[in-house]
Amino acid sequence: MRVFLAGATGAIGRRLVPQLVDRGHSVVATTRTQDKVELLRALGAEPVVVDGLDAAGVGEAVARAEPDAIVHQMTALAGTPDMKHFDKWFAVTNDLRTQGTKHLVAAATASGVERFVAQSFTGWNNARDDGPVKTEDDPLDEHPPAEQTQSIAAIRFLEEAVLSAPLEGIVLRYGSFYGPGASESLVEMVRKRKLPVVGAGTGIWSWIHLDDAAAATVAALEHGTRGVYNVVDDEPAPVATWLPYLADVVGARPPRRVPVWLGRLAVGEVGVSMMTQIRGSSNAKARRELRWQPTWRSWREGFRRAATA
């Protein structure tokens, strides 16, 4: 297949290009900057410089590439997280999920592209009621913390745009990434004991190693059908379980514990929600329908191997 990969230089893109090339696909890979062109070439892709928010530029790049499939991996999350002003932190990512998706879908339709795979997310956007683990059929959070309203709306927009487009539209809801390029700052915070367990640490997280996320993306491209797939590992786990474990495997002292009122002052409503209320996700559909399974079946072995690598 000839694949147009938008957002090829990020944490997931860099792991995805080599897997696509290994499977015999040819990859046209985007970056906004000339500086990263050589990196893309070294990974085995044909680089193209384009801004995902430039409708005409995207249209031209896709038309010139003549791809069979488009993969949308554009986000703008490098830099310091800001839990207290979550929507501000996610603002450009939200533009890439709304305008960026629109431009890519329009380009796909104009160029007769038949398959489209887009990055979405599962975790803090799950409804925070009923059971601890959600499937693709469960609703997204309709009453999120105020500071996450725009970010959840952007995810909804992306998913609806991809699923309603006149092509094979596939949405991959990745869990929280870890692996090279994804977890260094988290580990640094854990080492410095700057990430406490808030309240009872009952927020459930679903993790996924970048290489497993990339493998699921290749599987979705090759034989996924229109729909949504959670791409997470086999062990959704509460913060109170994974955070002390992570501290242990990286040789840090156990995380501090702080009450909810203090957590709210430090990380706001969104941070408290992530630490105490969010729900995890099931990978049963991706396992069944994509003929995919995570190599790192649990974050336990993944964190331990990553820490010793």
Ligand X SMILES: NC(=O)c1ccc[n+]([C@@H]2O[C@H](COP(=O)([O-])OP(=O)(O)OC[C@H]3O[C@@H](n4cnc5c(N)ncnc54)[C@H](OP(=O)(O)O)[C@@H]3O)[C@@H](O)[C@H]2O)c1
Q: Which long-range contacts (CB under 8 A, 24 or more apart) does 290-293 make?
A: 290/216, 290/219, 290/220, 290/223, 290/224, 290/229, 291/219, 291/223, 292/215, 292/216, 292/219
Measured between alpha carbons, how far is 246 from 236 in angstroms, rounded to an integer?
15
Alpha helices in 26-122 (DSSP H): 37-43, 55-65, 86-89, 91-95, 101-111
**Min dist. Cβ of residue 261 to ligand X (A):** 28
Q: Report if residue 148 touches ligand X, rule: CB under 6 A.
A: no
Q: Report if residue 8 touches ligand X, rule: CB under 6 A.
A: yes
**Which of 3, 4, 9, 203 contacts ligand X by CB under 6 A?**
9
Considering only 7-15, 193-201, 216-224, 259-267, which stretch makes contact with ligand X by CB under 6 A? 7-15
Number of residues near ligand X (by CB under 6 A): 27
Pick 76 or 239: Cβ nearer ligand X: 76
**Which of 113, 170, 182, 204 contacts ligand X by CB under 6 A?**
182
**Min dist. Cβ of residue 111 to ligand X (A):** 18
Pick 33 or 166: Cβ nearer ligand X: 33
Shortest Cβ contact with ligand X: which residue? 10
**Which of 51, 138, 234, 248 contacts ligand X by CB under 6 A?**
51
| Footprint of ligand X on 57-116 (CB under 6 A) | 73-78, 96
Pick 72 or 300: Cβ nearer ligand X: 72
Pick 106 or 262: Cβ nearer ligand X: 106
Q: Are 285 and 135 in contact (CB under 8 A)?
A: yes
Q: How wide is the angle at C-alpha 34 spanned by C-alphas 109 and 108, nearest 5°?
A: 5
Pick 79 or 166: Cβ nearer ligand X: 79
Ramachandran area for residue 51 (φ above 0: left; ψ -120 to 50: alpha; else beta): beta
In sign, the C-alpha dihedral spanning 7, 71, 68, 42 is positive
> Which stretch of DSSP H or E encloses residue 204?
strand 204-205
Structure tokens at 127: 């409804």
Q: Which residues bind ligand X (CB under 6 A)?
A: 7-11, 13, 30-33, 36, 51-53, 73-78, 96, 121, 174, 176-177, 181-182
